[in-house]
Amino acid sequence: MTNKNSIFKLVMALAAACILIPVILMAVCAFTSRWQWPDLLGESFSLRGFEEVFINNVQSFRILISSVFISMAAALFATIIGYMSAQAFSMYDFPLKKWLHFGSMLPIIIPSSVFAMGIHVYFIKWGINDSITGILIGHVLYCLPYTVNILGDSREALGNKYEQQAMMLGCNSFMAFFHITLPLMIPSVISAFSMAYIISFSQYFITMLLGGGVVKTYAVFVFPLISAGDRTIAGAYTLVFLLSSLLIFILFEGVIKFIVKKIVSAET
Amino acid sequence: MKLKVENMKVVFSKKDVISDINFSVEKGEFVSVLGASGCGKSTFLKAIAGILHLEKGNIFVDGKRIDNVPAHKRNIVLVFQDIRLFPHMTVAENIGFALKIKKVPGEVRNAKVKSLLQQIKMDGLENRKINQLSGGQQQRVALARALAAEPEILMLDEPFSSLDENLRFDMRLLLLDIHKKYHMTTIMVTHNKDEALSMSDKIALMDEGRIIQSGSPEDIYENPVSYKVAEYFGDASFFEGTVGKGKFRSPEFMVECSLEEGEYMMMVRNDAVEPTEGDDFEFVQRIYTGKEKEYIYQHCVTGSKIRCRNNGKKTDSLPAKTSFRFKSEKLRYYKI
């Protein structure tokens, strides 16, 4: 048992290291003036990267804010539609259910370039290409497979037994959902939203194609700057990217838990 | 009459799970629905509660038809076999849930929850999480939660099935105390015949989706209407034979009776069997249950078994070989 625990801890430490080391390196890069090979450490401490992000390139902050809102909207729609789909797939039987479930996974099965170009043709026909609406729809479609899967597994595991009990105690379907199902599904909802948000926020090719360069998200704006080769600036932009996403996750989790606590807690 | 069920039929996957059930419960009665696993007892309760759709039939409460009323408006609470306490709520929140839905003011609700906690002997555990409770405690909380809803009819689906013997006994007493205090119309599903016999005003025995006999515990036990009912309650031996010229004849026995001719199954309760002179049966086994001793004998020729209670006699008084006689008023015959 001790051996198994030790191995488990070792594996977890390695996994954490794989995630944290690149982030730490990126953070160090962001705060150095230059860090060239074969130097072991950067030349000196510098805020050049952040000056570039927040002072020299003011529009980056504006694009960051608009990207956050676009991705939050995309994640919200994807989570709501994903939940409704997950509810249907796990709780009901209807014709072609398996095929429809498979169909909901298609955006991640087919190559993203094929997916993006396919819907781009229709967006041009409908006049919503090069617009926020088009990008939003594209992102929602791309995020749906993730939200449907995450929420579907949880919904099926939860079942409808608690809802049935709630009905016995006087709840209609709506009340049973808000008082019982939603609070119990919160961890999955947060996971689905977070996944959809990060997929939308980091989406490059689909946004490039559907936005036509007219509508820029943070990922589209930052990509050429990161690939320019200046690690200090790349590190600064990446850090802003990571921290803004983390802030959104914390905010969303806090808001949802606050709302659920209000619903569940007894009035005094 | 509090509850009346007429011609109920429930179908799953084109198969009749409940067929043509007629059932009634008086106000304040404690009724057990008894039967083997898979006979449709839980389905019957769920259909009354409104969770399952009726293919046919009507349900009336106090003379008003409710089968077309949504489940949450029927004021019938079903406590499920798997308890289903809400895992994200504390004990107090679970118990007070129905009151919160009814928008009962906080002070009144808290007072009611406190009173129910005292009744189920769980004072001081209001803020416990459900996963911190034992099986018995969870069962008590589920019962209190149902009572808080003040239902017109309380239904329980095998409420003691997951509990050990001692706990079952305590929970039975608690339920009976509560039933006596609130005089609430109660329907309990169980497959335990001792529970049904000891707790109920009335028992309905189900088999394959139908009620095959309904009546008081004494009536069902002493006068089972069919071989199936008699066999379910056990505690008896059965012998196949024919009736002719005023006598029941089987390879093991010949008994006088006044039945029309035909093939019959004779049932004799274990406590109606008395040893007598003879050597038709040989001793096989003694069963000691703590409360009493039972002796199993086997017919020397046919191998049919008969069970006999020692009725307070010492072990040594039952011989290795004996014959038996019966108290004729305790014999029952079923045409086959």
Q: Kindly report, residue by residue over B197-242, the tens digit of the pLDDT.
A: 999 999 999 999 999 999 999 999 888 898 889 888 878 899 999 9
Cα–Cα distance measured from residue A2 to residue B324, given in angstroms and rounded to the nearest whole number: 66
Residues of A in contact with B70 (CB under 8 A): 167, 172
CB contact under 8 A, B80 and A169: no
Percent of chain A with pLDDT over 90: 46
> Do A31 and A57 sit in the same domain of this protein?
no
Residue B49's closest chain A neighbor by CA?
A: A168
* Beta carbons of B145 and A172 less than 8 Å apart: no
Q: What residue type is B12 in one-letter code?
A: F
Does residue A268 surpass a pLDDT of 50? no
ipTM of the complex: 0.83
Looking at chain A, which residue has its C-alpha nearest residue B111? A268
Give start-end residues of each CATH 3.40.50.300 domain in chain B.
3-230
Q: Which residues of A touch B (CB under 8 A)?
A: 161-162, 164-172, 175, 179-180, 183-184, 264-268
A109-118 LR contacts (CB < 8 Å, sep 24+): A112/A142, A112/A205, A112/A206, A113/A205, A115/A141, A115/A142, A115/A206, A116/A205, A116/A206, A116/A209, A116/A210, A117/A209
pLDDT, tens digit, 9 for 90 and up, residues B268-325 = 888 888 888 888 999 998 888 777 788 899 999 999 999 888 655 555 557 888 899 8
Q: Which two tokens stand for residue B146?
A: 């149902």
Q: Are residues A40 and A70 in the same domain?
A: no
Q: How many residues does chain A have?
A: 268
Cis peptide before B319 (omega within 30 of 0): no
Q: Residue A52 burial (CB < 10 Å; 0-12/13-18/19+)?
A: middle
C-alpha A34/C-alpha A42 separation (Å) is: 6
- Looking at this protein, which amino acid is placed at residue B108? V
Does an H or E element contain A226, and which?
A: helix A218-226
Alpha carbons B335 and B226: distance in angstroms, whole number: 8
Residue pairs between chains A and B whose CB atoms are closer than 8 Å? 65
- pLDDT tens-digit series, residues B111-142: 999 999 998 889 899 999 999 999 889 999 99
Question: In which domain, by residue range, is A117 found?
Answer: 49-267
**Which residues on neighbouring strands pair with residue B321, listed in sequence order?**
B282
Answer whether residue A21 shows pLDDT above 70: yes
Please indicate, yes or no, whether residues A35 and A56 belong to a single structural domain of this protein.
no
- Measured in whole angstroms, the distance separating CA A57 from the mean position of its chain's CA atoms is 25
The rounded distance, in Å, linking the Cα atoms of A19 and A226 is 19
Look up the CATH number of the domain holding residue A113: 1.10.3720.10
Q: Chain A closest CA to B223's CA: distance in Å?
A: 37
State how far the Cα of B318 lies from the Cα of B91, in Å rounded to an integer: 56
**Using 50, 70 and 90 to split pLDDT, how confident is the model at A147?**
very high
Most B CBs within 10 A among A158, A165, A259, hence the mutation to make, goes to A165
Number of domains forming the structure of chain A: 2
Asked whether residue A215 falls in the same domain as residue A246, the answer is yes
Chain B contact residues (CB < 8 Å to A)? 49-51, 70-72, 76-78, 80, 82, 84, 86-89, 92-93, 96-98, 100-102, 106, 109-110, 145-146, 149
Predicted local confidence at residue A267, as pLDDT: 42
A168 to chain B: nearest residue by CA?
Answer: B77
A209 in the same domain as A127? yes
Gap between the Cα atoms of A102 and B60, Å rounded: 45
Q: Name the residue facing A184 among B78, B82, B88 (closest C-beta).
A: B88
Over chain B, what is the mean pLDDT? 90
CATH: 1.20.1090.10, 1.10.238.10, 3.30.750.24, 3.40.50.300. Which one for B3-230?
Answer: 3.40.50.300
Q: How close A184 comes to chain B (CA, Å)? A: 7
Distance CA A136, CA A133 (A): 5
| Among chain A residues, CA nearest to B51 | A164
**Please, which residues have CB within 8 angstroms of residue B241's CB and are 6 or more apart in sequence?**
B248, B249, B250, B251, B253, B263, B264, B266
Instruction: Mark whether A124 and A35 lie in a shared domain.
Output: no
In this structure, are A15 and A130 located in the same domain?
no
Beta-bridged to residue B61, according to DSSP, are B3, B64
**Measured between CB atoms, which of B84, B101, B145 is closest to A162?**
B84
Min Cα–Cα distance to chain A from B158, Å: 15
Q: Are residues A258 and A145 in the same domain?
A: yes
